[in-house]
Amino acid sequence: MSYQHLLYETDDRTALITLNRPDKMNALSLELCDEIERAVAAADADEDVRVVVVTGAGGKAFSSGYDLVGDEEVPSIDFYADRLRGDLRFTYCAWNCSKPVIAMIDGYCLAGGLEFAQMCDIRYCSDDARFAVIETRFSAGVATLAMPWVIGPISRELIYSGDMIDATAALRVGLVNRVFPKDALHAEVMKTAKRIARVSLTTLQWNKRAINETYEAMGFGTAMRSAMQACVIADSTQTPEYADFHRMKSERGLAAALKWRREQFAAYE
């Protein structure tokens, strides 16, 4: 199976999926999302694979989130409903994979990239990693609202503010399992993945299924669908902040719009 936007390799019972848009900070285009889904499915179907690791190329970002280039205003609730159902399906590919999925996070992990990482079973990061629900700062909802299930009540502050936190804070609140020096991240994560891969595939699959069904029994799936619907309403509502951001993006480009957005918060950081 060939891919244009990611790299896929297997070694010693472990599949490594690398998002390969480093010049775009591994932003999640529709094409990349589709390829990630296909790559995770391929690893799940491979009898020689027991653990899946997902990372981003370039060392600057795991992923900066969903690609905003060309994402122009479409004033239709049906458009957003269809788009966000696709986003939720994409992030669920890690959750639905029968095998453990590890997010190896190097650099920025933002917005949709953070949503996807939270649907993975384990998250490890480099010491220069940064995390944020940044989409709330330009009047967007959270398509996959897993954060309350991952870190609990502290998620309210991060979701409401869009604040960015570093690796130390992410470890403290439980957003990541472990932090490694940047130059040791790949080796340490792959060593851990291959150690997990020594466990029998049957045991790994049934343990993951039991854990996932524990969350489902607590209402995880219902909560995800409800949050996605709330995101549809949020994203299709033409707030003044949304209009200002998209007008700036249309007139002066995405970089200028992102700079403008940062300036709205700078005095209060």
- Which residues are identified as catalytic? 115, 135
Instruction: Using DSSP, state whether 128 is helix, strand or coil.
Output: coil
Query: How far apart, in Å, are the Cα atoms of 127 and each of 22, 80, 105, 107, 258?
Result: 19, 36, 10, 8, 25
Whether 63 and 116 have beta carbons less than 8 Å apart is answered as yes
d(CA 252, CA 65): 21
d(CA 117, CA 173): 15
Rounded to 5°, angle at Cα 101 from 100 and 104: 135
Which H or E run includes 40? helix 30-45
